[in-house]
Structure 1
Amino acid sequence: MKAANDNRPHGAAVRFVVNPRLVPLAKAARRLHLTPAEFEAKLTAFHRHGFPLPRPLTGHYDLVAMDVWLDRMHGVSYDENRPTCPTGAASLVDARLAAIG
């Protein structure tokens, strides 16, 4: 709120929202709900499972590549940018419903 005698225009603190695609290790860790220390401790195992390496020029992680990796890890496939059920999920649901009766 402006003081009554302050007639100077004030710009917004953030004029444009920027959603970065490349993020440092701490934010990549947060994306996976891990602390930076937990993330670093698990990186070798992540890389064995195909987790994307940081970009060589920046050392930052690509959030899109991380999302693609997560989707693959959970069997999510895409058709024309539209998510579908994880592989085998429909038959799993049918089997569980049949077991309930």
Structure 2
Amino acid sequence: MMRFHVEPRDVPAHAAARRLGLTAEEFDQVADRLYRRGFPRPDPDTNRFDLDAIDQWRRLRNGPLFGLAPAAAAKNASDVVGDRVRTMRRGVP
């Protein structure tokens, strides 16, 4: 029987901390600040962290260096419609 080594992508907090170069204790101390900055939260069912999401978050911190830009913030639909109506009234296509 052939066996394959599987590298888990969802990992416990201590492994997520290691990905950031922190100890588990250091991660616990800064976790709330990281979450406020958009750090990916653990899965609500497994309480595991997605390493790919962590890596992407880290890349986005320095997005221009990686040719990335943060996702655009969602716009309020009423603002968008209002802008379009004002543009149409001015006769601009």
TM-score range, shorter chain: 0.5 to 0.7
Post-superposition CA distance 1:40-84 (Å, at most 9, x none): 10101101100011001100000111111111111157xxxxx54
Post-superposition CA distance 1:7-40 (Å, at most 9, x none): xxxxxxxx42111110000100011110000001
SS in 2 for 1:64: helix
2:32: which partner in 1?
44
Q: TM-score, normalised by structure 2?
A: 0.65
Q: 1:75 to 1:41 in 2, by over 3 A?
A: same
1:34: which partner in 2?
22
CA–CA separation in structure 2 for the residues paired with 1:76 and 1:19: 29
Aligned-pair identity in percent equals 43
- Structure 2 spans left out of the alignment, 5+ residues: 70-93
1:60: which partner in 2?
48
Q: TM-score, normalised by structure 1?
A: 0.60
CA–CA separation in structure 2 for the residues paired with 1:24 and 1:36: 10
CA–CA separation in structure 2 for the residues paired with 1:67 and 1:20: 14
- Quote the RMSD (CA, aligned, Å): 2.3
Q: Which of structures 1 and 2 has the larger relative contact order (alpha carbons within 8 angstroms, sep 6+)?
A: 2
The alignment of Structure 1 onto Structure 2 pairs a total of residues equal to 69
- Structure number with higher helix proportion: 2
